[in-house]
Copies of this chain bind each other. A is one copy, B any other.
Amino acid sequence: MNLSKRVLKELYYNMVLIRDFEDMVDKYAKKGYIPGFIHLSTGQEACQAGVMLTLKETDYKFPDHRSHGVCLLSGTPKERVLAEIFAKKTGISGGRGGSMHILDIKCRNMGFNAIQGANMVTCLGTAFASQYNNTQDVTAVFCGDGTIGRGEVHEGMNIAAKWKLPIIYVLVNNEYAISTRVESVHSYPKNLSDRAWGYCIPNEVIDGNDVIAVYKASAKAVKRARDGEGPTVLELLTYRWQGMFSGDPAAYRPKDEVKIWKEKRCPIKRLREKMISDKIFSAEEVDELNKQSLEEIEGMLKYAIESPEPEPQDALKYIYAGKEVEGR
């Protein structure tokens, strides 16, 4: 299967947009614009861009904590994603959630639940609803290698398989949880996702920095799910360039490891070079995309910075359906 020029362009643009977004967020976090802590997905753009382009707006998405890109590409007004991170009233969640909790039911971004692993059972529910209502919507759930330690992964995969639920597990294996390398705390055959065999779920291990490979594998998994054939695990091998969070010195990992990934395995550089050498795009066309991305980021940033903060009393809204809560 050869990808169309349009698809390649979108994949490329989306990766660049995520990269630029994360760089900007990192910068503004360090400048003090962003409260709390921020998990950046720099280096992992292909995982998010590749999978997201295979999904429809009506498909359910469960991003994980390192998934700004998923939120950006889900159909939400992008500036409202950033406004959320900036703790603004115009944020897609009203500034209540921030970087870890960007939700938008309109495009079925079901949000990240900051209790790692919890989404691995919640995702059964949306997939079940699609099955129940006989729609063809699939549910894509993002999950890191570290999170695989949690019991919900097991409860979830067993039921997903048994009920043939339309789920795509996007296992983003970036080699580390926080400080622990994947093989130092998990016992598994060759690949972490090989455990899927125990539930009769097919798994595929993919170079997560090869966006074309990710896209193709995801498209296949999505088709399986839509066709009622049940869940698939996609294990995407990748790496986070940053530490656990913006500002983490990440002393727990060797410097050259990071260097290799940055210099030799950048997903964006890789696609760029391929598109140019395959003569699908000229270098100028590609540069133009990069420029566009920065412009789009500028727009978001302006919106986020200029947006007002929430009013204190906004905290009292929507605790209960149909019941008020007392303020001060």
Q: Which A residues have a C-beta under 8 Å from some C-beta of B?
A: 149-155, 158, 161-162, 185-189, 194-201
Contacts and interface: CB of A to CB of B under 8 A. Distances in A.
Number of copies: 2
A169 to B, nearest CB: 14
Nearest to A151: B151
Interface of chain A, helix or strand or loop or mixed? helix
Given A149-B158, A151-B155, A152-B151, A189 B185 contact: no
Nearest to A153: B154
Contacts of A149: 155, 158
Contacts of A198: 188-189, 194-198
Given A158-B186, A189-B197, 14 more contacts: A149-B155, A150-B151, A150-B155, A151-B152, A151-B153, A151-B155, A154-B154, A154-B155, A161-B187, A162-B187, A187-B200, A189-B200, A195-B195, A198-B198
Contacts of A197: 189, 197-198
* Most B CB within 10 A of own CB, among A151, A162, A199, A201: A151
- Pairs of residues from A and B, 3 with the lowest C-beta to C-beta distance, nearest first: A151-B151, A195-B198, A154-B154
A188 B195 contact: no
Contact of A187 (B151, B153, B199): B199
A115 to B, nearest CB: 13
Nearest to A117: B151
* Most B CB within 10 A of own CB, among A154, A155, A189: A154
A277 to B, nearest CB: 40
Contacts of A194: 198
* Most B CB within 10 A of own CB, among A161, A195, A201: A195
12 contacts: A150-B151, A153-B154, A154-B155, A158-B186, A162-B186, A187-B199, A188-B200, A189-B197, A189-B200, A194-B198, A195-B198, A195-B199
Contacts of A187: 158, 161-162, 199-201
A162 B185 contact: yes
Contacts of A186: 158, 162
A154 B200 CA distance: 16
A117 to B, nearest CB: 8
Contacts of A155: 149-151, 154
A187 B162 CA distance: 5
A195 B198 CA distance: 4
A179 B161 CA distance: 20
A230 to B, nearest CB: 9
A35 to B, nearest CB: 33
Contacts of A189: 197-198, 200
A161 B185 CA distance: 10
* Most B CB within 10 A of own CB, among A155, A185, A198: A198
A315 to B, nearest CB: 33
Contacts of A154: 151, 153-155
